[in-house]
Structure 1
Amino acid sequence: MTLRLLQHRDADGRRAVIAANGDRAHILPGVESVRALAERAIAAGTGLAEAAAACGEGAAVDIVAELAAGRLIAPIDHADPAHLTLAGTGLTHLGSAEGRDKMHRDAAAAAQQTDSMRMFLEGVEGGKPAAGETGQQPEWFYKGDGAHLVGPGEALTMPAFAQDGGEEPELAGIYLIGPDGTPFRLGIALANEFSDHVTERHNYLWLAHSKLRQAALGPELLVGEPPAHVEGSSRIRRGDAVLWEKPFLSGEANMSHSLANLEAHHFKYGQFRRPGDIHVHFFGTATLSFSDGIRTEQGDVFEIEAAPFTLPLRNPLARAAGETVAVKTL
């Protein structure tokens, strides 16, 4: 069975890490964060699962009940949000070009092939290089720092000026940079990357703007080698009804890029290898409600679930209040 790690915070703010295997889950004594456990593993030269096992077993936990009570937080964080980077890659999944190409085709009607389709096809051709070789670099985007990270059950809040708040169901890799600058993948988490697709559709050069949004992580960190095939469901609930629902696929077997290639092109930049930093990297998706003509509204609830994760990721959609920003000369 695959180990899953969860972060717990009680009503008094006390934190703990939960280890789950199958239907069993227990507190890990003596550790308050997944980041601290990972640092312990790096220092000892062991894997994350071995470090968790060395903690022993504390009290048993019902993780379904704890999720319902709102006591499970994002499975990774940093005491200083500025040292957590949210970034991602797009056009990485087989079929992922269809929605994006449709979005941009009108704006590039004179061309036979949009930039999106060209980048996708280049990834299909060179996104899975042999070991030791450099593959085609993917589309890359920055989302924000740890202040933009949302946990299970929390609202995904779009800015007051946003034109859309749309879900992106996918997997995210979780990384800790070791003392010597080595990136360590701690595992993967279920994620809602969350973007403004109306802004992106207007002009592809506004992709960077559309991605500067919050993002949500499911409660479980799946430790070890990621599964090659992940199959799940993404839905939007409006009130008591399901407004939209569709299956989604992820994992390398369903991708045009290997995880190693995506990781190589992210961590090739020295500024992303600062010791002690956390990176949450979104691997992309091929499934969007926006591509099916859905316009979300405040109060809609995004729901994403996929095995081998046992808990869903649910987040309501909210809009921030407007604010006036004035730049002053000193």
Structure 2
Amino acid sequence: MTLRLIQIVTQEGERRVLAGQDDGSARAINGVTSTYELARKAIAAKKSLDAQVAVQGLGEEVDVALALSEGRVLAPIDHPDAAHLHVTGTGLTHLGSAEGRDKMHKAAAAAETQTDSMRMFLMGVKDGKPEAGKVGAQPEWFYKGNGTQLVGPGAELQSPSFAEDGGEEPEMAGIYVIGDDGAPYRIGYALANEFSDHVTEKQNYLWLAHSKLRPASLGVEILTGELPKDVRGTSRIWRGNEVIWEKPFISGEDNMSHTFANLEHHHFKYDLFRQPGDVHVHCFGTATASFADGVQTKDGDVFEITAAPYAYGLRNPLITRAEEKVAVNVL
């Protein structure tokens, strides 16, 4: 059974986690106030999420569209201690994803027959979908931050004052909780905007790590179970009432050079990422970004990402933070 897990704040200021239906309706899950709490209960009871929801029972019906309009929908996963939530990702994982990246790096690597990006992409094409039980090619991997970097639907994507660019990346994100046994448990998949600084990355590929230290947003719902093999959606940028850029994007394993299992293996093979109680939001990459088409975003632009089978899209405005003075104190 596929669940749509949604987190909101009620008009009275109380948290709720909802079980959404395909028709857009949703009901509160009794006895829990967060997706994290629900997942921890299911892991402890050795039950599936839908079985745990059946144990908890469902309460009142909730108008998710109203909650969205009132800014009461949260990111669909969080952690009581933001330092125990990790936001990470893998790139060059989708068929066609090397093209835009390769354009960025060709000028800096004109003497080479292939850029590092293209070589890594081709490694995935060759061995990113190994047979069951075997380990495939290692993907590009990056760190985005902890739970303080994660925002929900409608929230601002804040670009730091020193950023060269703020651009969208429409992706699927895997959502995981680490059990007390140190094993990762996947809750499901959420729509994500893996917001990045592409201009910084373009200047020098070794600055990729810097370009990824930005917030990321998650859509309204986590879909439990397996993601469809073919996911198709649309990414847009609104400037006022005008769409200044729009393009379809695709995801799902039919459109990828890696399997999700291979990407998960290369993330969770590190003991660091199997600490009991931690939450992981892992972005799986995209082949579509407006920067590759020469778009320069501005403060006030709104990123919009929609994709079936998600009932709700993801919209986030872009804003640049005021300059921050950072001083290191000597003790």
Q: Does 1:17 align with 2:17?
A: yes
Q: Deviation string for 1:48-75 (max 9, x for gaps)?
A: 1111122222111222222122111000
> Shift of residue 10 of structure 1?
2.2
CA distance in 1, matches of 2:92, 2:229: 18
Q: Which amino acid aligns with 2:16?
A: A
CA distance in 1, matches of 2:219, 2:249: 16
Q: Which amino acid aligns with 1:194?
A: F
Q: Which amino acid aligns with 1:140?
A: W
> Shift of residue 328 of structure 1?
2.5
Which residue pairs with 1:263 in the alignment? 264
Q: Which amino acid aligns with 2:276?
A: P
Q: Which amino acid aligns with 1:7?
A: Q
Which residue pairs with 1:312 in the alignment? 313
Which residue pairs with 1:275 in the alignment? 276
Which residue pairs with 1:33 in the alignment? 34
Which residue pairs with 2:5 in the alignment? 5
Which residue pairs with 1:177 in the alignment? 178
CA distance in 1, matches of 2:51, 2:238: 40
CA distance in 2, matches of 1:256, 1:71: 37
> Shift of residue 150 of structure 1?
0.6
> Shift of residue 329 of structure 1?
2.2
Q: Which amino acid aligns with 1:58?
A: G
Unaligned stretches of 5+ residues in structure 1: none
CA distance in 2, matches of 1:2, 1:178: 21
Instruction: Tell whether the 8 Å contact from 1:7 to 1:76 is kept in structure 2 after alignment.
Output: yes
Q: Write out the 4+ residue segments of structure 1 that deviate beyond 6 Å after TM superposition.
A: none
120-129 or 12-21, which deviates more: 12-21
Which residue pairs with 1:50 in the alignment? 51
Q: Percent identity?
A: 64
CA distance in 2, matches of 1:11, 1:163: 39
Q: Does 1:222 align with 2:227?
A: no
Which residue pairs with 1:134 in the alignment? 135
Q: Deviation string for 1:147-188 (max 9, x for gaps)?
A: 000110000000000000000000000000000100000000
Secondary structure of the 2:59 match is coil
Which residue pairs with 2:163 in the alignment? 162
Q: Deviation string for 1:1-38 (max 9, x for gaps)?
A: 73201001124431011101211311111110001000
What TM-score comes out, normalization by structure 2 length? 0.98
Which residue pairs with 2:65 in the alignment? 64
Q: Deviation string for 1:126-163 (max 9, x for gaps)?
A: 10111111100000000000000011000000000000
CA distance in 2, matches of 1:57, 1:326: 50
Secondary structure of the 1:27 match is strand
What TM-score comes out, normalization by structure 1 length? 0.99
Secondary structure of the 2:122 match is helix
166-175 or 63-72, which deviates more: 63-72
For these two proteins, the number of residue pairs brought into alignment is 330
Which residue pairs with 1:86 in the alignment? 87
Instruction: Tell whether the 8 Å contact from 1:2 to 1:22 is kept in structure 2 after alignment.
Output: no
Secondary structure of the 1:326 match is coil
CA distance in 2, matches of 1:326, 1:57: 50
Which residue pairs with 1:321 in the alignment? 322
Q: Deviation string for 1:175-231 (max 9, x for gaps)?
A: 000001000000000000000000000000000000000000001000111111110
Q: Does 1:97 align with 2:81?
A: no
